[in-house]
Amino acid sequence: MSTPATELDRLNGLPRPEFVQHLLACLDVPRWAADIADQRPFSDVDAFYRAADDAAPELTAEEIHTALDAHPRIGERAQGGDTSAKFSRREQSGVDSGDAELARALREGNEAYERRFGHVYLVCASGRSGAELLDMLHSRLDNDPETELRIVADELRKIARLRLAKVIEG
């Protein structure tokens, strides 16, 4: 079992393209991963996290929409065995797949959100129940598109930070 320091050493030693590709499972934004890669080597885990936090303070609308393409709907199980799909399944583990009424409500909520904003509803789902995620979805339907894009960018950052911690800390 590797420690955060040994995992960071491994990442520091990867060729740049491989490092960027490795981070894309966490970040979903190529510029963000590339900006982090350009700051290597990292002296410690905190320096790595600071670089990730600082690398993309402003995501463009195009980058946000590209990142959204990598995320399944809330309540839908991500398919595949890649790292991003595995992360997504863990993050949505609080959604009870056996609750038919909740599944229906999430499906309808997702559809209403997508009609309103033109993209998938994104929220940092880790540690939240399906009912909480549904309540958050409903509360965000009243947002204007510009406000919602800012919220989505913040949620992408939260998800990325949690995923990076999983990569480094296991």
Question: How confident is the model at residue 43, as a pLDDT?
Answer: 93
Identify which of 110, 112, 115 has the alpha carbon closest to the alpha carbon of residue 75. 110
pTM score: 0.86
pLDDT digits (tens, 9 = 90+) for 80-116: 667 776 777 777 777 766 788 998 999 999 999 999 9
CA distance readout (Å), 8 to 17, 20, 43, 45, 108:
16, 14, 9, 7, 42
Amino acid at site 52: A
What DSSP letter does each residue of 25-54 carry, written as one string?
Answer: HHH--HHHHHHHHTTPSPSSHHHHHHHHHH
Set out the domains of the chain in order of their start, with CATH numbers.
Answer: 4-59 (1.10.3330.10), 63-169 (1.10.3330.10)
* pLDDT tens series, the chain, 170 aa: 568 888 899 999 999 999 999 898 888 889 999 999 999 999 999 999 999 888 866 888 898 998 888 888 888 876 766 777 677 777 777 776 678 899 899 999 999 999 999 999 999 999 899 999 999 999 999 999 999 999 999 999 899 989 998 888 87
What DSSP letter does each residue of 85-144 carry, written as one string?
Answer: HHHHHHHTTTS-TT-HHHHHHHHHHHHHHHHHHSS------TT--HHHHHHHHHHHTTS-
DSSP state letter for 78 = P
Identify which of 53, 23, 57 has the alpha carbon closest to the alpha carbon of residue 37. 23
